[in-house]
Amino acid sequence: MSDNDIDPTSPRMAPKAEPTKIKGRELKPSTLMMGHGYDPVLSEGSLKPPIFLTSTFAFPSAADGKRHFEGITGKRPGGADGLVYSRFNAPNQEILEDRLAIWDGAEDALSFSSGMTAICVLMLAYASQGDVIVHSGPLYAASEGFVAKVLAKFGVQYVDFPAGATREEIDAVLEKAKDMASDAGGKVCMVYLESPGNPTNALVDIEAVKAARDEALDWSCPIAIDNTFLGPLWQRPLDHGADIVVYSLTKYVGGHSDLVAGSIAGSKKWMDPVRSLRNTMGGICDPNTAWMLLRSLETVELRMQRAGENATKVCEFLAGHEKVEGLGYLGMIKDARQQDIYERHCLGAGSTFSVFLKGGEAECFRFLDNLKIAKLAVSLGGTETLASHPASMTHLSVAEGRRTELGISDNLVRISIGIEDADDLIADFAQALETV
Ligand SMILES: Cc1ncc(COP(=O)(O)O)c(C=O)c1O
């Protein structure tokens, strides 16, 4: 590196980062994923960012060190304006966060060591004793467990509404939450959504939630949404009134089932308290994983498009099969309200869906045990097709009554379609169904 290229007061490792516009034309995320936030000149011309394996960063001067710590400790909002210590920030993670923010049209993003770390740090940053979290249901089981079991230990209560709830139903739940909070001396501190919900694909009306929140609450209460199932390609929740978008990057963004990571994105105002708690607790994504995610982001659009096309073909086959009772696929919604939400919020039907087989657990297990291309594994959003049985796997910890209430039945198989050849996948599902 040449000293002349480095601006020691620069907030970024890459002051000469790629443009986001050319002659007034806003560049698309798929273009920006190749270079945004990184200047090769700063790293010996290396076209791709090196992996920065360091725990700490040398300050150009003591005054810079002081200024950076003012950002870290929150004496100045917006976080550190320089690299300080790898629990707070580091180059690979900063480039990743810049690129993640682009997909959701967010001002800022934060990366984490897992989706669950992102969710837990986010909730802890906003909840205090006596507060109430309002959430949609179903949530990913660990998210639901964190709210109901862990936050409860610190005097944080919750109230939930079913994913497809109408404006009136959401209003009623918010009123109930306000009463609970006022009795406990707290406030409604967050509306937390997951849409589509895991594993049923039930959609939440984000626009109705925003309208209800704006009318019911006159204090700052963010709407956060787990967009793991459709993001970043098929749903942009910030455009529909959400304040914070949450991801398990382990899924579509990572996309190769070879890493675990998470993120949140939104305006700086909403990110700052979370960044501050992440600085204290740790939980930032590691540099190797951040680098892998940068590589994954270059192909995320291609992978998701192909997986989405494959899912449409597979679902067309499954929908007509005699051993299939029904499908929870967003491209074939039966319910008018869900279809309306889909049309207003979603840009594609995704590639993760549920298949309800005729029968129960035994039939599902036979189907799963006989798949030859699709792998029997939890998780989703990878290049390979995965299938699992939520009632006995990912959602086993959810009480049976609650599982029934949420539609997570014993005959539900969750499938995440990958980027293999669609006809090969159909052949695999056909032969596995024959064994049922
Ligand atoms: C919808 C959803 N949110 C969050 C998570 C948690 O993410 P991670 O496994 O990266 O911690 C998952 C994991 O399956 C998920 O499916």
Residue that terminates a domain, selected from 297, 322, 345:
297
d(CA 43, CA 91): 11
d(CA 185, CA 181): 6
Mutate to test the pocket of ligand 1, among 119, 246, 251, 386 (most ligand atoms within 8 A of CB): 251
Number of structural domains in the chain: 2
The three-class DSSP label of residue 153 is helix
d(CA 106, CA 247): 13
Ligand 1 lined by 111 (C-beta under 6 Å): no
Domain shared by 219 and 289, yes or no: yes
3-state DSSP of 122-146: HHHHHCCCCCEEEEEECCCHHHHHH
Q: What is the pLDDT of residue 85?
A: 96
Residues in the chain: 436
Structure tokens at 167: 């404006």
Domain shared by 350 and 284, yes or no: no
- What are the Cα distances from residue 183, in Å, to 86, 130, 142, 173? 42, 8, 28, 15
Q: What is the pLDDT of residue 259?
A: 98
Smallest CA separation from ligand 1 atom 10, residue: 115
3-state DSSP of 167-212: HHHHHHHHHHHHHHHHHHCCCEEEEEEECCCCCCCCCCCHHHHHHH
Domain shared by 104 and 200, yes or no: yes
Domain shared by 329 and 268, yes or no: no
Lowest-pLDDT range of 58-62, 73-77, 99-103, 353-357? 73-77
Whether the Cβ atoms of residue 256 and residue 303 lie closer than 8 Å to each other = no
Cα 166 to chain centroid, rounded = 24
Residue with tokens 């725990």: 55
Mutate to test the pocket of ligand 1, among 140, 146, 201, 257 (most ligand atoms within 8 A of CB): 140
64, part of any domain: no
Whether the Cβ atoms of residue 93 and residue 284 lie closer than 8 Å to each other = yes
33, part of any domain: no
pLDDT tens per residue, range 45-55: 999 999 999 99
Domain shared by 220 and 289, yes or no: yes
Sign of CA dihedral 165, 169, 171, 173: negative
Residue that terminates a domain, selected from 244, 270, 297:
297
Q: What is the pLDDT of residue 4?
A: 41
Domain shared by 312 and 241, yes or no: no
pLDDT tens per residue, range 138-183: 899 899 999 999 999 999 999 999 999 999 999 999 999 999 999 9
Smallest CA separation from ligand 1 atom 14, residue: 379
Structure tokens at 53: 């394996």
Domain shared by 216 and 321, yes or no: no
Q: Domain range spanning residue 120?
A: 91-297
pLDDT tens per residue, range 375-400: 999 999 999 999 999 999 988 888 88
Domain shared by 348 and 246, yes or no: no
Beta-bridge mates of residue 386: 375, 416
Coarse DSSP helix, strand, coil percentages of the chain, rounded to the nearest 5 percent: 40, 15, 40
What average pLDDT score do residues 11-33 get? 78
Ligand 1 lined by 260 (C-beta under 6 Å): yes
Q: Which helix (H) or strand (E) holds 327?
A: strand 324-328
Q: Looking at the CA of residue 249, tell me the nearest atom of ligand 1.
A: 10
pLDDT tens per residue, range 70-102: 988 888 776 788 999 999 999 999 999 999 999
Domain shared by 266 and 342, yes or no: no
Domain shared by 343 and 394, yes or no: yes
Sign of CA dihedral 64, 66, 70, 72: positive
